[in-house]
């Protein structure tokens, strides 16, 4: 099973861009990477998903390089309300398995 690793924590300030990288060494060409956000006492909530190059939605961007050994979640111009734990999830279609990272705690300061 591919191991999914991400930094434990990151600090930022309001208005800055936050980039969180997830490492996933052994994923296949069509395995999807999904990012979730979790606030205390709530379940994780979907942010963005992709399997190659770049995906952008109204809240984030996801960059996946050609070697697919990592992916980067980019949060533009963060605010205090973006303080949360962010999880990377890889769907391994060949093994029919899911691999969650341990989460990155992002703290945004004023």
Partner 1 sequence: EAGVVQSPRYKIIEKKQPVAFWCNPISGHNTLYWYRQNLGQGPELLIRYENEEAVDDSQLPKDRFSAERLKGVDSTLKIQPAELGDSAVYLCASSLGRLEETQYFGPGTRLLVL
Residue 96 binds to partner 1 (criterion: CB under 8 A): yes
Residue 103 binds to partner 1 (criterion: CB under 8 A): yes
Build a one-symbol-per-residue string for 14-33: x at contacts with partner 1 by CB under 8 A, - elsewhere.
-----------------xx-
Cα distance between residue 102 and residue 5, in whole Å = 7
Q: What DSSP string describes 7-64?
A: -SEEEEETT--EEEEEEETT--TT-EEEEEEE-TTS--EEEEEESSEEEE-SS-EEEE
| CB closer to partner 1 out of 9 and 16 | 9
Build a one-symbol-per-residue string for 35-54: x at contacts with partner 1 by CB under 8 A, - elsewhere.
-x----xxxxxx--x-x---
């Amino acid at each position: 099973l591919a191991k999914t690793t991400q930094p434990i924590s990151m600090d930022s300030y309001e208005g800055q861009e936050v980039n969180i990288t997830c490492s996933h060494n052994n994923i296949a060409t069509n395995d999807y990477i999904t990012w979730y956000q979790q606030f205390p006492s709530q379940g994780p909530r979907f942010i963005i998903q992709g399997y190659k190059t770049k995906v952008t939605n109204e809240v984030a961007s996801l960059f996946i390089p050609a070697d697919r050994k990592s992916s980067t979640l980019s949060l533009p111009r963060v605010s205090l309300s973006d303080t949360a734990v962010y999880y990377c999830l890889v769907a391994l279609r060949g093994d029919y398995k899911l691999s969650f990272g341990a989460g990155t705690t992002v703290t945004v300061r004023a």
